[in-house]
């Protein structure tokens, strides 16, 4: 099962009949957001505030309406302290009495309060940035889940779970901000990791999420399609070719992809490469071509196959 995002909002208002409350409720309802509401009681205390927050409500964002009506309450000050302690992003409607003090309060160099005189401007601002808040919350929650599982957020660990074909954990890495174009500590792209470990689903998943199909590893100088040929995995080879893999890249030791395929002796992969434009006459670092190796090592079926592809 994949982990999903669940942003939680809190609305704080002086009373249930506050005229601005329905505007905020309607907005959050339009975003299918989950939210709780806290109101100022008749005796001047904010009902259930400490209980709701301290019981692990895990509020990620808060909207405060008509703060000027609650500013004199000690419970209101306590609430602000709790929100800061939880590092909750908070939008404060000041009711026409703009107070810059809130925006100057910082925790670890970051400001968590933003003030608006007009409720419509507050809603417009939140609406314009709502998708960003979802991404940020997803990154944070995914990172926390990785750390809870004892998994460091590093490209080497990402590579390990790519190799293990663990979709759930790989999704967590991606949601936490890891990029599919990352290399492991040995300089191997994630797509090559997936190809070397014959993880077909991860090859597809990486490409769907922006991996560079022609990224070259720093150890062998292979691309993912070369790794697939090396592993004699025709399914991955075919998929990468159809996805646009470059078949003209030469490895760091001077091997064209067809030389690699002939060396492995896999007829079907050689045929697949030839049919998709791989050149059998490109020389390797030894000055030999795939066609010449097939002849030299008496790979008769491959040699005969190459006769169908005359030298250009």
pLDDT digit string, tens, across residues 168-221: 999 999 999 999 999 999 999 999 999 999 999 999 999 999 999 999 999 999
Region 272-298: mean pLDDT is: 95
Instruction: Look at 31-45, 58-72, 161-175, 204-218 and tell me which has the smallest mean pLDDT.
Output: 31-45
Examine the pLDDT at 1 and tell me if it is beyond 50: no
- pTM for the model stands at 0.79
Instruction: Look at 11-15, 201-205, 224-228, 237-241 and tell me which has the smallest mean pLDDT.
Output: 11-15
Instruction: Give the rounded percent of residues in the chain with a pLDDT score beyond 90.
Output: 68
Examine the pLDDT at 43 and tell me if it is beyond 70: no
CA 258/CA 279 separation, integer angstroms: 7
pLDDT of the residue at 270: 97
Examine the pLDDT at 52 and tell me if it is beyond 70: no
Instruction: Look at 8-22, 153-167, 219-233 and tell me which has the smallest mean pLDDT.
Output: 8-22
Residue whose pair of structure tokens reads 């507050």 in the numeric block: 122
Sign of CA dihedral 22, 23, 24, 29: positive
**Angle at which helices 267-275 and 234-242 pack, to 10 degrees?**
10
> DSSP letter string over 106-157?
EETTEE-EEEESSHHHHHHHHHHHHHHHHHHHHHHHHHHHHHHTT---SHHH
pLDDT of the residue at 104: 63
């Amino acid at each position: 099962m994949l982990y999903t995002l669940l942003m939680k909002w809190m609305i704080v208002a002086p009373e249930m009949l506050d005229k601005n409350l329905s505007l905020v409720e309607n907005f959050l309802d339009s975003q299918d957001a989950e939210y709780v509401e806290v109101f100022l009681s008749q005796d001047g205390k904010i009902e259930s505030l400490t209980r709701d927050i301290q019981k692990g409500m895990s509020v990620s964002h808060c909207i405060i309406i008509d703060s000027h009506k609650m500013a004199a309450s000690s419970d209101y000050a306590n609430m602000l302290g709790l929100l800061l302690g939880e590092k909750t992003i908070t939008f404060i409607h000041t009711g026409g009495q703009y107070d810059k003090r809130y925006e100057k309060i910082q925790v670890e160099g970051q400001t968590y309060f933003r003030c608006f005189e007009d409720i419509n401007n507050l809603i417009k601002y939140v609406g314009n940035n709502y998708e960003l808040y979802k991404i940020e919350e997803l990154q944070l929650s995914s990172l926390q889940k990785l750390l809870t599982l004892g998994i460091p957020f590093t490209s080497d660990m990402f590579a390990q779970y790519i190799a293990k074909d663990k979709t759930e954990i790989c999704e967590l890495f991606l949601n936490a901000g890891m990029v599919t174009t990352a290399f492991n500590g040995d300089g191997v792209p994630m797509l090559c990791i997936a190809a070397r470990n014959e993880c077909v689903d991860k090859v597809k998943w990486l490409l769907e999420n922006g991996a560079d199909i022609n990224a070259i590893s720093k150890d062998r100088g292979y691309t993912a399609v070369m790794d697939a040929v090396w592993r004699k995995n025709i399914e991955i080879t075919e998929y990468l070719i159809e996805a646009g893999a470059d078949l003209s890249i030469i490895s760091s030791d001077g091997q064209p992809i067809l030389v690699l395929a002939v060396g492995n002796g896999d007829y079907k992969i050689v045929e697949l490469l030839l049919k998709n434009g791989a050149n059998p006459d490109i020389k390797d670092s030894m000055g030999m071509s795939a066609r010449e190796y097939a002849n030299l090592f008496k790979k008769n079926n491959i040699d005969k196959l190459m006769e169908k592809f005359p030298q250009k």
